[in-house]
A and B are shown apart, each in its own frame.
Chain A
Amino acid sequence: MRKDDEQARATAEAVARQSYGKLVAFLAARTRDVAAAEDALADAFASALAHWPRSGVPDAPEAWLLTAARRKLADASRRRRTASNAEGHVRLIAEELNAVRDETPIADERLRLMFACAHPAIDAAMRAPLILQTILGLDAETIGSAFLVSPAAMGQRLVRAKSRIKEAGIPFRMPDAADLPERLDAVLEAIYAAFAEGWTDPAGTEARRRDLAEEAIWLGRLAASLLPDEPEAKGLLALMLYAEARRRARRTADGDYVPLAEQDPASWNADLIEEAETLLSRASRAGVSGRYQLEAAVQSAHVVRRVTGRADWEAIAALYGALQAMTGSPVVAINRAVALAESEGAEEGLALLDEAAADARLADYQPYWAARADLLARLGDAKAADTAYERAIGLESDPAVRRFLQQRRDALR
């Protein structure tokens, strides 16, 4: 019985979020006023979240929300006597609400809303929070705790960003073909940032962060379905699904860290991996490879271990090579070195790490020191490996990973 309740709640919430996001986007695209659109729908949305799990999802959820919102607005305008600053936007929203015909499906403007939220004139750090709030209806407290920002500060930044969309005249439209790749990248980056925040809770103890990864996947599905011709949208979704498939495998039952290479493939979620593989192969049919497709392809070459018993390290090294040429990222260089150590030998890997070390940022980067320590140990240089482990341990904030590195170091002694 409890499980049915849980199912009903999840279904109701998913439909409520779908409809809410669509209506916010629809109203905001017409008035350019995201905050007013949210205000107009807030009570209706809250009431849907409260009622639908018990009464069931209505046949026409958007019409239900619209009716509830109109009733609220009518009440509000009866109470309001004087002309205030708010009058203008309330009237505008009320007109739009009334103009929407209930029987016709409303146009899905969520993609245009996402492009507005990830506009270059919006602070890059605020793009993911904005999308989470406007498209999914998450509150500032939930978003703040996921991004480790106080709810008050997050709330204020969200208000400011929405006011900026309106006041600066940020458009709700699909970017021109020339701008699309860069602008789409900003949208995908915001979704991936939300996922990464949720992914950094490996123990799964912080429910809000874990949920955020699921919300990001939801947004990824939305972007991929609204942009069927954009292979990178599929690539990002595939990448997130591969990672999600391995979520639980990152820790033992006792909470110990398990590196990817030592994870039991049987503990991975096969359904998610299958879905990711299908997406990736459909994306690659378009012939253009972007960052997310390459990263997803790396994941694919890892999970091939399910079938062959060995990760395809040659492919992984080559993919990281392509990624490095594309991004110039020192983090990618480390991953490439690790892959090369597997496919060519520890010496080749170490040589590549030495090359990457020219980037001063790596001095404080834990994975660099951990990779270095591992390769030095394999080459028999226990003393240098010990020093490198020392650095890695000092830089790691996750206690489980720290324990793992300490064990590795102790094994050398």
Chain B
Amino acid sequence: MKYMLLIYGDETGYDKSTKADIEKVMTAYGAYGEAMRKAGVFVGADRLKPTSTASTVRLADGKTKIQDGPYAETKEQLGGYYMIDVPDLDQAIIWAARCPAAAHGRIEVRPIWEM
């Protein structure tokens, strides 16, 4: 089954980080992605720019309405995702727990709706 691991965290933490901190995190993510590839479970991954760059769009009375900012203003925001292909939820949870963000943020594990 395919699962999306949605990474939620406090974006403001990034601004406060030192260069060394950021490098350490990057190395951790590099190793994490590499482990997924080696295990043959990696399908895709992306990191998102902060919510300050987000635009939220909807259609009202046939007109496009744009709101600057994220859909919901919460402390913890979606910052990126991994998509993996594993046999079951237990395996997906194990990978989610290994994510570098799991220690300070939250990982939402969602199965992909297979069409």
Contact = CB atoms under 8 A, between A and B. Distances in A.
Nearest to B89: A169
B43 to A, nearest CB: 15
B92 interface: yes
Nearest to B90: A171
Nearest to B113: A167
Contacts of B34: none
Nearest to A166: B111
B40 interface: no
A65 to B, nearest CB: 28
Interface in A169-207: 169-171, 173, 175
Interface in B60-109: 87-90, 92-93
B8 interface: no
B111 A170 contact: no
A171 B88 contact: yes
Contacts of A261: none
Contacts of B87: 169, 171
Nearest to A32: B88
A119 B88 CA distance: 12
A171 B87 CA distance: 8
Interface in A123-174: 167-171, 173
B28 interface: no
| Residue from B3, B88, B92, B111 whose CB has the most chain A CB atoms within 10 Å | B88
A184 to B, nearest CB: 15
Nearest to B1: A169
Chain A interface residue number, banded? under 10
Interface string A106-120: 000000000000010
Interface string B3-40: 10000000000000000000000000000000000000
Contacts of A168: 89, 111
A368 B43 CA distance: 56
A167 B87 CA distance: 13
Contacts of B89: 119, 121, 168-171
Contacts of B111: 167-169
A168 B113 CA distance: 10
A163 to B, nearest CB: 12
A170 B111 CA distance: 11
A176 B76 CA distance: 32
A110 B90 CA distance: 19
A119 B93 CA distance: 12
Nearest to B2: A169
Contacts of A119: 89
A97 to B, nearest CB: 23
Contacts of B92: 169
Nearest to B86: A169
Interface of A: 119, 121, 167-171, 173, 175
Interface of B: 1, 3, 87-90, 92-93, 111
18 contacts: A121-B89, A167-B111, A168-B89, A168-B111, A169-B1, A169-B3, A169-B88, A169-B89, A169-B92, A169-B111, A170-B88, A170-B90, A171-B87, A171-B88, A171-B89, A173-B88, A173-B90, A175-B90
